Amino acid sequence: MTTRKTSSCCAICENSNQASICAVCVNFRLNEYHNLLKLQKSRRDYLYARLSEVVVAKGKADDQTNWRVLHNDKRSKLKEKLRSNKRHLEQGKVRIERMSDDLKDKYGVLESALSMLEKYRVEQLGKYYPNLISTQTLGHMAITAERLHKQSVVIKQICKLFPLRQVIVDGERKDGSTVQYDQICNARLPRGLDPHSVPSEELAASLGYMVQLLNLVAQNLASPVLHNSGFAGSCSRIWQRASYWDARPSSRSNEYPLFIPRQNYCSTSGENSWSDRSSCNFGVASMESERKPRLESSGSSSFNFSSASLHSVETHKDLQKGISLLKKSVACITAYYFNSLCLDVPSEASTFEAFAKLLAKLSSSKEVRSVFSVRMACSRSSKQVEQMNKSVWNVDSAMSSITLLESAHALPTMKNICENLRNSAPSFLYATELSDNGKNECIIEGWDIVEHPTFPPPPSQSEDVEHWTRAMFIDATKK
């Protein structure tokens, strides 16, 4: 064993070369060992920290490796599933195409069989039941003729109750020129959408008469209307119903008056609403004989927006909207029945003038007979019409025998009438612009009269037909 050299000044410990036996040497050696131990401990902690970092990095690397392996496995499975789905899709397409071809062949066979059966049925009916077919056809013609005759009588009575005609007023303008007005029951209707083109008393009365006339005509002709109305004489109101199931307006702001209310009567809160059953007078108080200030400008045919109050402007606009809605309904009925009668819509006539011409034609039995004869001639050959000319009008019906003669003579002209119908304007609506001479009040805006598809039976009320159709197209799809 080598001799330990120490810095101890103890002679005994140094000379004897033995372990320290004195306190000073022992403390010195203990301090030396303690320092060495601290150094080893710090080294151990350093190596342990490095080992921990290596272990953490190793764990992260292993996690990433496992994640890559797992996702590679999933991706391979998804690719295999995609290839399988593509294969099944191609097989399904081939199967569907094969089934489609088979269905087409079957449909072709069925259509051929149906056409043969229909042809055979027609031959059998023509062979064994000609008298029955003729009897049924003649009965249908007689019933239709009687219905049209009664309809013309009713329309004629309505026209007597509400005479609608056009009048010419001299010196109405400043330059002394004449102005044409549409008049109902001796009350002038407004020109265009200007409610101040006629006095307020005539405006309220004429629009009320027109509302009642339109309600009666729509009910008797089973024609579509675009509005609901509350008839109250010269205080009538008009609105468009919210839906087929709800006859009320969608909001109070969509209920428009057809009269010029007085300032002390109008209420912006919409308390006096025709659709509200709790309303008390519907503006009947405005019919008093006492002259009260009105919202119109006296002595002027135009509305002064600059000097009017905000409420007066809103009332004026609501009145214009009500007149516009009423004219749209009149235009719809006019276009509908002119096209039904295979006639051209009068392009130069105003809204109410064209409506008056329509009522004149519908109230004329001769016009109705002519149109009915043309329709019958359209659906039958000349031979059938010639046979019916000899028999159908010999029965006791409301139509005379001259109708069948008209149908026979109408065959050569039917082609021209149909061509005129196709070439005529599809329909007409009336815009807010108004010309000076009043001739261009009628403007075409796309009333296309088309054949409706087959629907379930319509409601019992004839005035609800339009709303029923609208519900089938619009309201039902919203749900």
What does the domain layout of the chain look like in residue ranges? 134-288+313-478
Which residue, among 165, 151, 222, 114, has the nearest Cα to 398 in the 3D structure? 151
The whole-model pTM stands at 0.49
- DSSP letter (8 states) at residue 392: G
Greatest CA separation for the chain: 168
Residuewise pLDDT in 10s, the chain (479 residues): 444 444 545 666 666 565 566 777 778 888 989 999 999 999 999 999 999 999 999 999 999 999 999 999 999 999 999 999 999 999 999 999 999 999 999 999 999 999 999 999 888 887 877 787 788 888 888 898 888 889 889 999 999 999 988 888 765 666 666 788 888 988 888 888 888 888 888 888 888 898 899 889 988 888 878 877 777 767 888 888 777 777 777 777 778 888 887 654 434 334 444 444 333 333 333 333 333 334 343 344 455 555 555 557 777 788 888 889 889 989 988 988 888 888 888 888 888 899 999 999 888 878 777 777 777 666 554 445 444 444 433 433 333 333 333 333 333 344 443 444 344 433 333 333 333 344 444 433 444 444 444 444 444 555 555 665 666 556 555 54
Q: 240 and 232 in contact (C-beta within 8 Å)?
A: no
- Helix/strand/coil for 257: strand
* Beta bridge pairs of residue 184: 164, 187
What counts of helices (H) and strands (E) characterise the chain?
A: 11, 6
